Amino acid sequence: MYILQVEDDFASAHQLREYKGKCENLHGHNWRVRVRVKGERLGPIGMLMDFGDLKRLVKALMDELDHKFLNETPPFDTLNPTSENLAKYLYDRLSAALPDGVRPHEVTVWESEKCAATYTE
């Protein structure tokens, strides 16, 4: 199994619904995201996929969330915008965009330097 990894980031604000504490108030994060994809077969030139293509896919996802109020951005207008839900959302979106033979391995979302959530299947 081959695994590729890229990282990117975005800035956005959110409020956690039904949370009793500071995070129920509007606040922002500089989110860091690590995407790892996997596949069993390399292409004819010896690559699972081009890093540039993977970076572009991840950047497009980050751009959709960058400088947004997540609580007003689908699906987080109904889904609580937690780090866990962000990781799963990005995993699912990435799944639909990857080329044949490549699938997500895991997505990790840091909301701070010391706190992160990872989604994997």
Known catalytic residue at 121:
no
Which listed residue (7, 23, 27, 84) is catalytic? 23
In whole angstroms, give the CA distance from residue 81 to residue 72: 10
Known catalytic residue at 115:
no
Known catalytic residue at 23:
yes
Radius of gyration of the chain (CA): 15
Which listed residue (40, 67, 72, 84) is catalytic? 67
Which listed residue (14, 29, 105, 111) is catalytic? 111
Question: Burial level of 62, CB count in 10 A (0-12/13-18/19+)?
Answer: middle
Q: Judge whether 70 and 81 are in contact, CB under 8 Å.
A: yes
- Residues belonging to the active site: 23, 67, 111
